[in-house]
Amino acid sequence: MTVDPWDVARLDLGGYLARLEVTPEAGSDGSAPTRELLDELHEAHVRTFTFDNVDVLLEQHPGVGLEAVQAKFVGRGRGGYCFEHSTLFAAALQRLGYDVRRRLGRVGDPDAGTQQGRTHMVVEVAVDGQRLLCDPGFGMSRLRPIVLADGAEDSYGGWSYRVRRTPGGWALDRESDRGWEVTHTTDDLDVLPVDVVMGHHYTSTFPTSHFRNGLMVARHLPGRHVVVTHEALTIRRPGEPTEHRELGDGELDEWLATLGVRLTDDERRRLAARVAALRS
């Protein structure tokens, strides 16, 4: 008997699909692994769950194992960052019969000197003879997968991206107000659960990790993508200039509610205190 290191059998697939409000045709593990269903799942996941580092800032992160992630996302309706999003999304796809590979990469542009450590997680899926990049856990996530082919471009929902082959793997570029910008580069190396744990340990505990030194909450809302940090608000709308301004006093709770971040009263108080300390 082959042991699954990712333990995807523990996923509450029905609960996950119910949270996304997606009903595959077969309604169970026997659903056909089509590109159409993959697109639907990816967009539903990205629109349902926030990208955020709230638990890291509050020093209460439950970890990136599948059971902890599904308790947080599926059970509480919370979001998280890339290791959590991709762990959950990959498990669901495997249970639905997709050919899945987990990959790691680096956020930033190597040519600009902004490339970070190998701490971004994505999901590669093979469907109908094509390799597809799924990136459900990025601050400005794509709504749908994109083909992993050199020069591939895709525009969906008003957001344009392209893929480039690099010596070590793949670069994903996003078209912004300033033209094409590198979001991250990923490699083709195999990933084990311990690699994800190590990446999470660094990003959640290393003193200078930006996830420990600033709030970030992001989500696709109808017609706009919103990012809230401890000091600023950024709103992007397709075809329009980016709106960026300082976050006003007292606005944080309003935006957390708008973005659907579900916190207990205690978590809300502690987050407010942490943000106040970051702003001082």
Delineate the domains of the chain, giving CATH numbers in brackets: 8-279 (3.30.2140.20)
**What's the whole-number mean pLDDT along residues 27-48?**
85
Strand order in the sheet with 130-134: 146-147, 130-134, 120-127, 99-107, 179-187, 169-176, 159-166, 153-156
| Residue in the structure block whose two tokens are 């308790």 | 71
Q: How far apart are CA 259 and CA 75, in angstroms?
A: 18
Residue 62's pLDDT is what? 97
Q: Looking at this protein, which amino acid is placed at residue 128?
A: D
3-class secondary-structure state, position 40: helix
H/E segment holding residue 63? none
The single residue listed with the structure tokens 């290393």 is 206
- List the one residue out of 179, 166, 185, 52 whose CA is nearest residue 107: 185
Mean pLDDT of 33-57: 98
Contact call for residues 91 and 85 (beta carbons, < 8 A): no
Q: Provide the token pair at 46.
A: 């990205």
129-142: pLDDT as tens digits: 999 999 999 999 99
pLDDT interval class at 149 (50, 70, 90): very high
Helices (H), 49-155: 54-57, 66-70, 76, 82-95
Q: Which helix (H) or strand (E) holds 142?
A: none
DSSP H helices, 13-158, are: 13-20, 35-48, 54-57, 66-70, 76, 82-95
Percentages helix, strand, coil for the chain (3-state, rounded to 5) are 35, 30, 40
Summarised one tens digit per residue, pLDDT across range 191-250 is 999 999 999 999 999 999 999 999 999 999 999 999 999 999 999 999 899 999 999 988
Joined together, the tokens standing for residue 192 give 């084990």
In this predicted structure, the answer to whether residue 28 has a pLDDT above a threshold of 90 is no
